């Protein structure tokens, strides 16, 4: 792991919250992600399974957690299974976790090697009635390959067809959507790294710089501060900013254009998500400033509206209604044609076609029950944007807030966003 060690009590508290939700006679199983192939004999870096990390802190392939809070044998109530280290693996891949190291990271006393999983799991299955298994239940997930967890679910249900099986994802989503102070602190660390990258770009950007050079500035700051890119960086100049998930990042940043930067760091697997839009020349044109200020006003109104009890769909609807008014003020929508059509689609979708935000945490688009009202501790992004291809103009602004009773807490408050602050930072002497 690149990040500094986290206390085992952090993960033990997460397990305790899950165990409290499991009924008597239940066990739960969470496994790691696959190591995915590239080309020839190459593989992609392992992406830690978010639920496994949340519950254990373990970031090693082929790891499995089994929880059985009411098991007769107290040692079997939480068991972590790992690959057994061997000399050949150590030479090729490096050290694997020892039993002592795994306990130090996770706080789990009972560590077993993966070869023991079939026998010990069989013993627990004979004792337990309910089995909670995991699956990807993210609303936007596209399941195109069978994952390691899906294979495990299929094989276990075939071997033990008479048990009652339950969805672990429902429980995990309800736990992970509420961020503890410790989790918010880790997100703040990711945001601090992200801010450093953004400030470096502000200090070095100039007309003619290539988008890939801008990406390199972020990569330097993220890596030296023990972070990673949280997602593929979007560094889009001019018309490219109207492509929502643009990631070619290979075009020159031209004088007079705006540069949309949707780039953020991940630290200890907790993610930031930041978008700023800045003038390549150092100053906004009159029209650019007009649109920029309209997006900023919209974002601030939506942050102020994000309070406990609000439904996500109502927040989105508010965003679209306010966007229509703003777009009319910009001369982009006729003032007499702001009503939704018969299907309920807002006319703002021509220029603001995406959602207003999403939960964030261990996943950039984090899990959560979005049919439920906002609650204290939710961490969400607020990211309105207007995209005007006919003007070669795309502006998006994105912050992360934590829902709270008094007022939302903006975790990005120290990242420049006012047009004057952006211009001032771009005007500073460059190294």
| pLDDT at 210 exceeding the cut of 90 | yes
d(CA 431, CA 201): 12
Enter the DSSP assignment of 57.
Answer: -
- For the segment 231-256, the average pLDDT, to the nearest whole number, is 97
- CATH annotation of 8-176: 3.40.350.10
Tokens 């290979």 locate to 250
Q: Which residues pair with 82 in a beta bridge?
A: 113
- For the segment 346-371, the average pLDDT, to the nearest whole number, is 95
| pLDDT at 321 exceeding the cut of 60 | yes
Which stretches of 221-349 are assigned E, i.e. beta strand?
Answer: 228-229, 234-237, 258-262, 265-267, 270-271, 275-279
List, edge to edge, every strand of the sheet that includes 379-382.
379-382, 399-402, 409-410
d(CA 90, CA 93): 5
Instruction: Of 199, 136, 130, 222, give the one whose Cα is nearest residue 172.
Output: 136
Buried b (16+ CB within 10 A) or exposed e, 167-180: ebbebbbbbbbbbe
Q: Residue 309 belongs to what H/E stretch? A: none
First to last CA, the chain: 33
In degrees, rounded to 5, the angle at the alpha carbon of residue 394 between the alpha carbons of residues 388 and 399 is 135
d(CA 230, CA 365): 11
Q: How far is CA 60 from CA 7, 34, 64, 82, 403, in A?
A: 17, 10, 10, 8, 33
Contact 359, 369 (CB under 8 A): no
pTM summary value: 0.95
Q: Where does the pLDDT of residue 184 fall: very low under 50, low under 70, confident under 90, or very high at 90 and above? A: very high
| pLDDT at 337 exceeding the cut of 90 | no
Q: Is the dihedral of CA 141, 142, 147, 151 positive or negative?
A: positive
pLDDT tens digits along 60-114: 999 999 999 999 999 999 999 999 998 888 888 889 999 999 999 999 999 999 9
The torsion angle over the Cα atoms of residues 116, 122, 123 and 125, rounded to 10 degrees, is: 140
R_g over Cα of the chain: 24
Q: What are phi and psi of 37, to 5 degrees?
A: -75, 150
Whole-number pLDDT of residue 429: 61
| pLDDT at 428 exceeding the cut of 70 | no
| pLDDT at 243 exceeding the cut of 70 | yes
Which residues, in sequence order, are CB contacts of 279 under 8 Å at separation 6+?
257, 258, 259, 285, 288, 422, 423, 426
Q: Do domains 8-176 and 181-426 have the same CATH topology?
A: no
Residue ranges covered by each domain of the chain:
8-176, 181-426
In degrees, rounded to 5, the angle at the alpha carbon of residue 98 between the alpha carbons of residues 169 and 8 is 50
Fold of 181-426: Creatine Amidinohydrolase (3.90.230)
pLDDT tens digits along 270-296: 999 999 999 999 999 999 999 999 999
- For the segment 174-178, the average pLDDT, to the nearest whole number, is 97
Residue by residue, DSSP assigns 354-372 as S-S--B-SSSSS----TTS
Instruction: Give SS3 for 129.
Output: coil
Whole-number pLDDT of residue 336: 81
| pLDDT at 315 exceeding the cut of 50 | yes
Contacts of 103-108 with CB under 8 Å at 24 or more apart are 103/8, 104/8, 105/5, 105/8, 105/11, 105/56, 105/57, 105/58, 106/8, 106/11, 106/12, 106/56, 106/57, 106/58, 106/80, 107/8, 107/9, 107/11, 107/12, 108/56, 108/65, 108/78, 108/79, 108/80
Contact 422, 202 (CB under 8 A): yes
Whole-number pLDDT of residue 431: 47
Whole-number pLDDT of residue 143: 86
């Amino acid at each position: 792991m690149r990040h500094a060690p986290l206390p085992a009590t952090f993960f033990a508290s997460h397990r305790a919250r899950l165990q409290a939700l499991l009924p008597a006679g239940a066990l739960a199983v969470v496994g790691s992600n696959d190591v995915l192939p590239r080309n020839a004999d190459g593989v992609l870096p392992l992406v830690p399974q978010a639920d496994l990390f949340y519950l254990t802190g373990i970031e090693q392939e082929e790891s499995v957690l089994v929880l059985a809070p009411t098991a007769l044998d107290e040692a079997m109530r939480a068991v972590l299974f790992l690959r057994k280290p061997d000399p050949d693996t150590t030479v090729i891949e490096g050290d694997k976790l020892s039993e002592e190291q795994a306990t130090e990271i996770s706080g789990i006393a009972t560590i077993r090697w993966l070869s023991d999983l079939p026998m010990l799991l069989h013993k627990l299955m004979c004792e337990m009635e309910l089995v909670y298994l995991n699956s990807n239940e993210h609303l936007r997930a596209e399941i195109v390959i069978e994952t390691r967890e899906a294979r495990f679910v299929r094989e276990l249900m075939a071997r033990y067809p008479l048990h009652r099986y339950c969805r672990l994802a429902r429980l995990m989503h309800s736990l992970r959507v509420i961020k503890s102070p410790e989790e918010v602190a880790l997100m703040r660390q990711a945001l601090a790294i992200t801010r450093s990258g953004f400030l470096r770009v502000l200090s070095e950007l100039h007309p003619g710089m290539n988008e890939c050079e801008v990406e390199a500035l972020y990569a330097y700051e993220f890596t030296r501060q023990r972070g990673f890119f949280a997602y593929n960086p979007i560094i889009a100049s001019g018309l490219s900013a109207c492509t929502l998930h643009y990631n070619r990042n290979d075009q020159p940043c031209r004088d007079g254009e705006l540069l949309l930067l949707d780039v953020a760091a991940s630290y200890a697997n907790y993610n930031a998500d930041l978008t700023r839009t800045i003038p390549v020349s150092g100053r906004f044109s009159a029209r650019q400033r007009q649109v920029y200020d309209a997006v900023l006003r919209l974002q601030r109104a939506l942050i102020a509206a994000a309070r406990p009890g609000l439904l996500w769909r109502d927040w989105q609807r508010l965003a679209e209604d306010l966007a229509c008014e703003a777009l009319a003020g910009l001369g982009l929508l006729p003032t007499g044609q702001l009503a939704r059509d018969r299907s309920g689609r807002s006319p703002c979708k021509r220029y603001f076609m995406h959602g207003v935000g999403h939960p964030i945490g261990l996943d950039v688009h984090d899990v959560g029950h979005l049919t439920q009202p906002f609650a204290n501790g939710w961490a969400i992004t607020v990211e309105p944007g207007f995209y005007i291809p006919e003007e070669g103009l795309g502006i998006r602004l994105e912050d992360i807030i934590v829902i709270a009773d008094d007022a939302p807490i903006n975790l990005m408050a120290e990242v420049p966003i006012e047009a004057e602050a952006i211009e001032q930072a771009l005007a500073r002497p460059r190294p």
